[in-house]
């Protein structure tokens, strides 16, 4: 006797293939599209009724998710989409996108310090150049105010590396020195691994709010997308 097949049809293009994958997706308040949470910013309603960025995903209550770019966050705040999604009156600061940018910068800099203590970050011209030669660098982090000559040499070495690193120049040498516990830190390498993979997620989020390198840097640079690390 023939039996009707009971298996479900395969998921369509872009659809999550597992429950775990589906749990890592949410609907963007602005576009209405379902996206990976790694490419979004979570917001929550604070106790004072204000919309609060929740980068760590730890604040209580329902998450309000917006694509990780400045235009989307500004649109959600301007159009009252947070209140509509939460079904209650919420106050969204007009500078909400600036708040997200500042928090991401702080989170990334703190992440460098933690990675340094875990042995996942090295700094100094010779150490960074050696790591590049070994194909072990996921991200080059250059001081935004570093000397052009040293930067050109490091970037030349990066272009020859087996693993082309991403490039970020988001902080001054003084800020990097404080975060990493060194003196006059100009060249920093985040070594490939799980720590760099996690760091990449926030770097890619930040890229929706500001450039990763100064506009004045006109020389050829490695990719800013974190080549060699998963999105």
The encoded tokens of residue 146 equal: 């570093």
- Global pTM exceeds 0.95: no
- Separation in Å, CA 39 to CA 24, 64, 119, 154, 202: 10, 14, 27, 30, 9
pLDDT digits (tens, 9 = 90+) for 130-189: 999 999 999 999 999 999 999 999 999 999 998 889 999 999 999 999 999 999 999 999
Q: Which of 1-5, 21-25, 137-141 has the lowest mean pLDDT?
A: 1-5
Q: What percent of the chain has pLDDT over 70?
A: 84
Measured CA to CA, the distance from residue 86 to residue 121 in angstroms comes to 41
The fraction of the chain above a pLDDT of 90, given in percent, is 79
pLDDT value for 80: 96
Q: How many CB atoms lie within 10 A of CB 133?
A: 13
Q: Residue 225: its pLDDT value, please?
A: 44
pLDDT of residue 219: 59
Answer whether residue 19 shows pLDDT above 60: no
Question: Mean pLDDT in the chain?
Answer: 88
What mean pLDDT do residues 48-72 have? 95
E strand intervals along the chain: 25-27, 34-36, 40-45, 51-53, 64-67, 121-123, 137-142, 166-168, 187-191
Residues 6+ apart with CB under 8 A from 37: 24, 25, 26, 65
Q: What are the tens digits of pLDDT across the range 24-44?
A: 899 999 999 999 999 999 999
Q: Which helix (H) or strand (E) holds 112?
A: helix 96-117
- What's the pLDDT at 217? 86
């Amino acid at each position: 006797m023939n039996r009707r097949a009971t298996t479900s049809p395969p998921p369509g293009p872009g659809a999550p293939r597992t429950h775990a994958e589906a749990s890592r997706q949410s609907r963007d308040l602005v576009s209405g599209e379902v996206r990976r949470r790694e490419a979004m910013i979570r917001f929550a309603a604070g106790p004072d009724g204000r919309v609060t960025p929740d980068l760590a995903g730890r604040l209580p209550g329902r998450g309000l998710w917006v694509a990780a770019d400045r235009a989307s966050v500004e649109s959600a705040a301007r159009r009252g989409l947070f209140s509509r999604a939460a079904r209650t009156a919420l106050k969204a600061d007009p500078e909400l996108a600036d708040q997200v940018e500042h928090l991401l910068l702080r989170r990334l800099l703190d992440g460098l310090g933690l990675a340094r203590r875990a042995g996942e970050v090295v700094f100094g011209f010779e150490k960074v150049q050696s790591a590049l030669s070994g194909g072990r660098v996921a991200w080059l982090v250059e001081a935004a105010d570093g000397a052009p000559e040293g930067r050109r040499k490091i970037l030349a070495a990066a272009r020859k590396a087996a693993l082309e690193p991403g490039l970020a120049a988001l902080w001054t040498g003084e800020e990097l020195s404080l975060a990493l516990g060194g003196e006059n830190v100009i060249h920093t390498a985040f070594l490939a691994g799980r720590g760099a993979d996690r760091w990449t997620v926030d770097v890619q989020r930040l890229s929706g709010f500001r450039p990763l390198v100064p506009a004045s840097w006109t020389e050829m640079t490695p990719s800013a997308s974190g080549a060699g690390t998963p999105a």
